[in-house]
Structure 1
């Protein structure tokens, strides 16, 4: 077996491990033993295999998410850049929804600004001005990150391969254009069962959530799958994530943008 064939086999084994964990709702061992802890191209190839598996089972891609937007978390992972994952239709919930915890393994909630694109981000410089013009509107969002890796024992390659540790997401009902709010200026509070558990602001997300979207636009194009009109973009955490469990009610308040709420309950399907 050639070196290339061996690498492809290892990447397929990593994808199979993660897909099995996803399908059986059983956490698995890290995949860095197969692809190394910081091999970026290999990790994204595993993610692509995982995505192909999801699509074969009927899922539809509706957007992208950005992870590791905090410099502190990047240092912890030993990297100097964010990562990204794919949003599927079955990951989305409406404001106020009951989110079944049976479909999750180790959920952790974080507050974000979400955007919906009006235009493709496939050509041109993909700079801040182009990105700003391409955004239709923003809204408050609650992302529930999850890891198929047992105990969140992850390095950079593990989280990238595992679709950037994606779980589900909840979008608020309030939408505003960029003429109506400035993402960099927002302040965030996240409460679980009425208790404040996380705070942050727009500057905590790569200096500005729009910077994060610009980074994603360039990275997605480099990997051959540019951002498209109509897609939802989760731009990255505004503050620390916190674990959630069945029975919790999570509220995210983002100044100038609005509120989003989700309740968590036992179950295995959208309710």
Structure 2
């Protein structure tokens, strides 16, 4: 297969939202007095600025403990009661926290039920295997709930493959024959997939798959390897540009016809093999 890591874009940089307004005394940070206090407090100030809205609304708190900035979710009303899907406010929060973790690596710890339900993890946390498995199962069930309509319509499948969570997207309406340009109907599906990935733990791998029919003469792509790689890259670019996944958390693969899931001897089988798979890898 061919594999490449996507390049960072401006969407991956956490925007500084510094303000000169006085901070409400009710949301003052706890400070420690250990070594490196100045640096830790500076990081805490940055996190507090990014999450100022959520802090003011009582959704999260930010504190410093043992030289680590701790973001704690104070409530767990993050899903719509009728649909069970992630609310837009929760998506916004999880996206911000993912960006903060990417920028500060293991210097930030998250706590609270809301982060656990949606698969948000501590990058430097030594949790037991059972706990990680539980979070993975919670994440799988949440993704299924978010994509329930698409699953019912046969546009998507969500399942586990060992430690992996796989979102399989059917060919219908995704790309024109021999092209890697996203169709309008497919982008609406990718929006729902992207929202489901917000706050996901682990690297996100975008895989392009084709049938075994060779490229026609004069096609832009030399072979199915190139085509599958280009299609995976188009999906990855869309998810980055729309802010659902950061570039540092995503890898693209073009697998051509090497991972067929149906026979290429029939039109139906070839159509089934032409697909995109979004794979959430374990930490």
More strand by share: 1
The reply to whether TM is greater than 0.5 is: no
Computing the radius of gyration from Cα coordinates, the structure with the larger value is: 2
TM-score interval, normalised by the smaller of the two chains = under 0.3
More helix by share: 2
Tell me the TM-score normalized by structure 1: 0.27
Higher relative contact order (CA 8 A, sep 6+): 1
Tell me the TM-score normalized by structure 2: 0.26
